[in-house]
Amino acid sequence: MYISFKKTALLVLSIFFIISIISCNKKKLIEVVEVPLPSKEEKMTLGTPEDVVAQKGAFELVKLPYKYDDFSPNIDAVTMEIHYSRHYLTHTNNLNKTLAGTEKESLTIEELHKKLDMSDANMRNNLGGYYNHSLYFEILTPKGDAKPIDSLAARIARDFGSFESFKTQFSDAATKQFGSGWTWLVVDKTGKLQITSTPNQDNPLMPKQIVSGTPILAIDVWEHAYYLSYQSNRKKYISNFFNCINWKKVSQKFDEAIK
Ligand code: MN3
């Protein structure tokens, strides 16, 4: 009896021991899978924008004909890569997936905005996420022009007094946008330029906006757009963003909007 009890106890203990080893290993395995730590080398490797391609669908990524580190120090390379190849790409793929096989697949980006049901959170987030980032990356250039030109320069002077005054008002609006969102230079229905901000991925093409119109310039003030270099100093990021504006492109967009 005594031996048999000892044997049983030993067996129970052994089983307990084996189970705890297995569960410990499992935990370790899960930890490794959930937190894959990149090696030093991996951290240093940057991809190129041309390697980033959206899954086949209604919309494609705006090309970024630069290297990620061309924007440094105004926007650091890692921020550019993560922003373009992950955030922007994810919105694009999600939008394409949402539209796939529906009658909305053939609509233009403007029509999709016009028909947007603001209570449809998935569509609102990804349509805005796609449109907003497309404009943002389109108007960025590593060595920005100092000032707008031609008709846009004249309209800025008319509607804001001067370029400096516009810059101050735009920067203030972007600094004060509470939480995540965007600040815009918009051409309204009458052709007047207006500055406005929107929360999250909303934009001035969506229904029920305080300022409606065609955006020609956008700054992303989500923390993912600047936090690595600037931490909480959003103001500095906004100021340096002005070194990266392709005013020629913005002027083209203005001319198209007032046609
Ligand atoms: Mn963003």
Q: Which amino acid is at 34?
A: E
Q: Which residues contact 245 (CB under 8 A, 6 or more apart)?
A: 139, 140, 141, 144, 145, 217
User: How far is ligand 1, taken at its centre, from the CA of residue 178, in Å?
Assistant: 15
pLDDT given for residue 39 in this prediction:
59
pLDDT per residue as tens, the chain (259 positions): 455 555 655 555 555 555 454 444 444 444 444 445 555 555 558 999 999 999 999 999 999 999 999 999 999 999 999 999 999 999 999 999 999 999 999 999 999 999 999 999 999 999 999 999 999 999 999 988 889 989 999 999 999 999 999 999 999 999 999 999 999 999 999 999 999 999 999 999 999 999 999 999 999 999 999 999 999 999 999 999 999 999 999 999 999 999 9
Domains of the chain: 1-45 (no CATH), 49-257 (3.55.40.20)
The enclosing H or E element of 218 equals strand 214-220
Residue 191, SS3 per DSSP: coil
User: How far is ligand 1, taken at its centre, from the CA of residue 41, in Å?
Assistant: 26
Q: Are 55 and 97 in contact (CB under 8 A)?
A: yes
User: How far is ligand 1, taken at its centre, from the CA of residue 81, in Å?
Assistant: 11
Distance CA 172, CA 178 (A): 12
Whole-structure pTM over 0.85, yes or no?
A: no
Distance CA 163, CA 165 (A): 5
User: How far is ligand 1, taken at its centre, from the CA of residue 31, in Å?
Assistant: 29
User: How far is ligand 1, taken at its centre, from the CA of residue 14, in Å?
Assistant: 54
